[in-house]
Amino acid sequence: MSLTCNTLPRGRQAAPSPGFRAAGARRRYHDSDHVAPQETGRVRKDRMTAKQFEAVKQKLPKRMKEQSIDLARDVLVDGLSIPAAAEKQGLTRERGRVIVDRVLAAKQAFPPGMQHVDVFLPPELAREVKRMGSPASVGKDRMTLEQFEAVKQKLPKKMKPQSIELAHDVLVDGLAIAEAAERYELTRQRGVLIVNRVLATAQGAPASWKRVSVLLSPEDARKVKRMHKKAVAEADAARQQDRRRS
């Protein structure tokens, strides 16, 4: 059974014609200190002000086309949806998603000498690691289809096909969690839990473990990776012991 779903999420509308503004919609504006209101009901958590976008723009590759930068600005500053912004620029939705991801990656560039660690740990270790470093934004989680299929074999058998398809749409196809959740008529919070469950399984982490995303010094980063490796080994040993008992 193919997990790929190419239909538009329920309720998705075509991009409005130039100059169109729906009744009751708020006027968009460009202000260096404020994020322009979004015309749709859902607000992206990764929105930027015009000033923030101009700062990130300096980090983008010089070969990046103005068309791509304009698309990213339409999405991240003006609040246009990716499909609408892509149509406006004459690009595909998939290309629009890649462009926005590239700009967000530039925004999340880490300070010199710091390393990003994103792992699942037992709750007590997770709290300890959070105290060691500075919180970091979780990046765009992606897997190849082969990686996803391998992880799928390790997922709990009671996990619903709908949940697996949502995780596939996010991790393999690159759909935003909010969009994927809407497609399956679930809340965004539920979508986050589902995706994290699949990612935890990929790391060999039990469902009770917590995700930690922090910036650490290289020394602390190595320490946390050792902690994670040891915790996973202990969890594997406990699972094997439980199977022998049963």
For 198-225, write each residue's pLDDT tens digit.
Answer: 999 999 999 899 999 988 999 999 999 9
State yes or no: pLDDT of 55 exceeds 70: yes
State yes or no: pLDDT of 14 exceeds 90: no
State the average pLDDT over residues 191-198. 95
Q: What span, in angstroms and rounded, lies between the C-alpha atoms of 211 and 234?
A: 18
pLDDT of residue 42: 56
pLDDT of residue 60: 85
Q: Which domains does the chain have, with CATH numbers?
A: 1-109 (1.10.10.2690), 115-245 (1.10.10.2690)
Query: Rounded to the nearest 10 degrees, how much is the dihedral formed by the CA atoms of 165, 179, 103, 46?
Result: -120
Lowest mean pLDDT among 1-5, 132-136, 159-163, 238-242: 1-5
Q: What span, in angstroms and rounded, lies between the C-alpha atoms of 120 and 211?
A: 4
Name the β-bridge partners of 215.
116, 134
State the average pLDDT over residues 134-157. 87
- For the whole model, what pTM was predicted? 0.56
Of 164, 159, 161, 166, nearest in space to 182 by CA: 166
Of 8, 38, 191, 176, nearest in space to 98 by CA: 176
pLDDT of residue 116: 84
For 106-115, write each residue's pLDDT tens digit.
Answer: 777 667 778 8
